[in-house]
Amino acid sequence: DPLYMKLNVKWGKEKFDAVELNTEEPPMVFKAQLFALTGVQPERQKVMMKGGTLKDDEWGNIKLKNGMTLLMMGSADALPEEPVVRPMFVEDMTEEQLASAMELPCGLTNLGNTCYMNATVQCLRSVPELKDALRRYSLVMSFISSSEILFSVLDLYVSSMKCTESEDEDPTKGTESQLQLSCFINTEVKYLATGLRLRLQEDITKFSPSLKRNALYIKSSKISRLPAYLTVQMVRFFYKEKESVNAKVLKDVKFPLMLDVYELCTAELQEKMVSVRSKFKVVEDKKLEMQQQPKENLKVGAPKETKYEPFCFSEDLGSSNSGYYDLQAVLTHQGRSSSSGHYVAWVKRKEDEWVKFDDDKVSVVTPEDILKLSGGGDWHIAYVLLYGPRRLEILEQGNSN
């Protein structure tokens, strides 16, 4: 049999003459030619001749002769029409189109060196109580009032101010209020907790009434009142006299997604927080127990709205009654000096998803990306950490005991 031949193909009322065929190629190639002529997809073709039906991958025992006629059966599909709206792929989208498709929150246009303000506003936006207050009231004062309650003062109880140069001078005691905690950074600080402890146990120089001159004192403090939302400033800028510039400490200082400041509090505050902290342990144990149960034992029903216990002491609105916090926003700085560089906000959207607000450019990032903001190079470095209250879930009746 010749390798190349020309066959006739009859399809319904139509007939195609001199269709080329090469027996060295699989029958699928011939069917592809028939598809080009008839519009019938190869998988819908049934090609018959004397000796059998044509397969896809081999000719088998079929004997073909030049000029013979084959019969093809099968219906042609209508050619697909070009869509009215062309599909757009993620790779081809602009940042604005991507943000819209993923239902991301709005960014803020940089009006000229306003990146710090933009980033700060986006961090504040992560506080649900502030958003609710703004929806209820149109007056700016309502926003300020809510801010003062939720970001209310952090009281430090100064347990001791002892002069190290005079044994006869009695230590002094007192209280002071702060709007944030500061994390001091030196060569020893690798973790946030270490830097916070340095802030509460520091060396200061002040006038000594017994020595009648400036002397060195050790100032020891404990937290006597915690705010609902805790702001932590990473003390990364210092003044370089030689260059006359506020230089930046680039050192890597790890911070946690979940923060517990119990150890930094006074004994009195710790005692007040014990009952709520024990409830957290009950809820966590119950959830762990449910995760270990076989799926068939779990009740299946409509999802219920999660309810939470108050995070404030009943007599102190805007306080924290547990000392447990979850990181919910980070304000970062990229650059070598406080007078230059760029500020960006990173805000938690849900448990495993964060949103990066780079002025008007908005994108989704992961918790792993947030942990990379701890410093150590020229990448974005955490400058302000905003911790919100960890919410204590109310278990169904009968499950909380």
User: Which residues form the catalytic set?
Assistant: 115, 342
User: How far apart (Å, rounded) are the C-alpha atoms in residues 366 and 372?
Assistant: 10
User: Angle of helix 140-150 relative to helix 128-136, nearest 10 degrees?
Assistant: 150
Strand order in the sheet with 14-22: 14-22, 4-11, 69-73, 46-49, 52-53
Q: Are 161 and 230 in contact (CB under 8 A)?
A: no
359: left (phi over 0), alpha (psi -120 to 50) or beta: left
Instruction: Give the integer Cα–Cα distance in Å for 16 and 280.
Output: 80
Residue found by looking up tokens 């994108």 in the block: 363
CA 372 from centre of chain: 12
Burial pattern 66-103, b for ≥16 Cβ within 10 A else e, equals: eeeebebebeeeeeeeeeeeeeeeeeeeeeeebbeeee
CA distance 53 to 71: 10
Residue with tokens 């004062």: 141
